[in-house]
């Protein structure tokens, strides 16, 4: 760790387009972001990994379906299996669902329209490494921009997610038809997280909201703790 | 050897594309009561045992071509 700045990997797939913003946001929040190329078979020494937004592999077949076969995804899966912090934004969330690291799947928006606007969210739990800076039931404003963000889980799976408290953020104004207003879920183990809204686009009041820094800042805090323990 | 995989949204899964097409067909005056949209994958396989090919195709569907959470699939192994 350099000067208390935890190293956080940001995966770059062909077609990722929010990796640059993720790097900027993480750096502004005190992390040491490290871009990681999709073809790398191993991760560098990092305390967390971010899968950014974009259109990996052109969204061919299904969003995220091809990206999960990228060489680096084997390393990401092993990192997650060891309890490593993995954070997927938008397309990154879709990739984590396709890879089976998060439950459920993301489908075309019910409206069939691409939505690009601020979304109002409620924090369902603050005892995760991704929401520790939030207050219970806090309302956040973070933009969404996606065509396929309609979260789907079968009734049985949704009941299990509710029972395990795996739904971390919900939309106040569901923009895409997601079941249960789900905007973000966490894995059963609590270390893999995916959300459709883009916290990296909301880290400066100049851009309309800085609420994204509560989410990404929580990740940086958790990564710093882990980097200290490992050191 | 040729094979075709049909991937369909499972019953009960919301299919907004199908709904949009259904309503457009109705606007054109067709008496349509439902439309569901899936995907066709035509494959050209190396010649070999069709039964074994079918097994491979099952794996292709489970691992990549379909998302078993929301999609069903149908495999046809055809004569060239």
Alpha-carbon distance of A106 to A148, in angstroms, equals: 6
CATH number, residue B16: 3.30.1280.10
In a domain, A2, yes or no: no
Residue A203 pLDDT > 60: yes
Range of the domain at A108: 7-230
Considering its fold, how many domains does chain A have in total?
1
CB pair distance less than 8 Å for B16 and A110: yes
Q: Is A177 on the interface with B (CB under 8 A)?
A: yes
For residue A1, what pLDDT is reported?
72
CATH number, residue A209: 3.40.50.880
Considering its fold, how many domains does chain B have in total?
1
Confidence band for B61, pLDDT divided at 50, 70 and 90? very high
Q: What angle do CA A103, A109, A113 make, to 5 degrees?
A: 155
A164 burial level (CB within 10 Å; 0-12, 13-18, 19+): middle
Residue B80 pLDDT > 60: no
Has A137 been annotated as catalytic? no
Alpha-carbon distance of A199 to A142, in angstroms, equals: 6
Does the complex come out with an ipTM higher than 0.90?
no
CB pair distance less than 8 Å for A152 and B17: no
A216 burial level (CB within 10 Å; 0-12, 13-18, 19+): buried
- Is pTM beyond 0.90? Reply is yes
Range of the domain at B22: 2-78
What is the token pair recorded at A110?
């019910």
CB pair distance less than 8 Å for B14 and A105: no
Segment A12-36 mean pLDDT: 97
Query: In B1-80, which residue ranges form alpha helices assigned H by DSSP?
Result: 16-27, 50-60
Give the H/E segment covering residue B80. none
- Phi/psi region, residue A111 (left: phi>0; alpha: psi -120 to 50; beta: rest), is alpha
In a domain, A183, yes or no: yes
Residue B72 pLDDT > 60: yes
* Mutate: best of A60, A107, A110, partner B, most B CBs <10 A: A107
For residue B79, what pLDDT is reported?
66
Per-residue pLDDT tens for A119-157? Answer: 999 999 999 999 999 999 999 999 999 999 999 999 999
Residue-averaged pLDDT of chain B: 93
In a domain, A1, yes or no: no
């Amino acid at each position: 760790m350099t000067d208390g700045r935890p190293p956080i990997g940001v995966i770059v797939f062909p077609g990722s387009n929010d990796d640059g913003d993720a790097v900027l946001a993480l750096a502004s929040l005190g992390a040491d972001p490290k871009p990681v190329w999709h073809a790398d078979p191993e991760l560098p020494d990092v305390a967390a990994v971010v899968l950014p937004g974009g259109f990996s592999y052109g969204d061919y077949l299904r969003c995220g379906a091809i990206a999960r076969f990228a060489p680096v995804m084997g390393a990401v899966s092993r990192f997650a299996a060891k309890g490593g912090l993995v954070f997927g934004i938008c397309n990154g969330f879709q990739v984590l669902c396709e890879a089976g690291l998060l439950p459920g799947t993301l489908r075309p928006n019910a409206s069939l329209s691409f939505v690009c606007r601020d979304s109002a969210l409620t924090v369902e739990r603050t005892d995760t490494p991704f929401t520790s800076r939030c207050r219970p039931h806090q309302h956040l404003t973070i933009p969404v921009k996606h065509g396929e963000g309609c979260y789907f889980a079968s009734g049985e799976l949704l009941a299990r997610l509710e029972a395990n408290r795996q739904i971390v953020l919900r939309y106040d104004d569901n923009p895409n038809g997601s079941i249960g207003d789900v905007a973000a879920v966490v894995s059963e183990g609590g270390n893999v997280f995916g959300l459709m809204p883009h916290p990296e686009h909301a880290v400066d009041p100049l851009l309309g909201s800085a609420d994204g820094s509560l989410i990404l800042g929580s990740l940086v805090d958790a990564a710093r703790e882990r980097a200290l323990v490992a050191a | 050897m040729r094979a075709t995989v049909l991937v369909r949204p499972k019953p009960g899964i919301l299919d907004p594309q199908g709904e949009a097409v259904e309503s457009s067909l109705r606007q054109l005056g067709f008496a349509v009561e439902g439309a569901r949209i899936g995907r066709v994958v035509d494959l050209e396989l190396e010649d070999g045992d069709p039964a074994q090919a079918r097994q491979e195709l099952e794996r292709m569907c489970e691992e990549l071509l379909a998302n078993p959470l929301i999609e069903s699939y149908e495999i046809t192994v055809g004569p060239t």
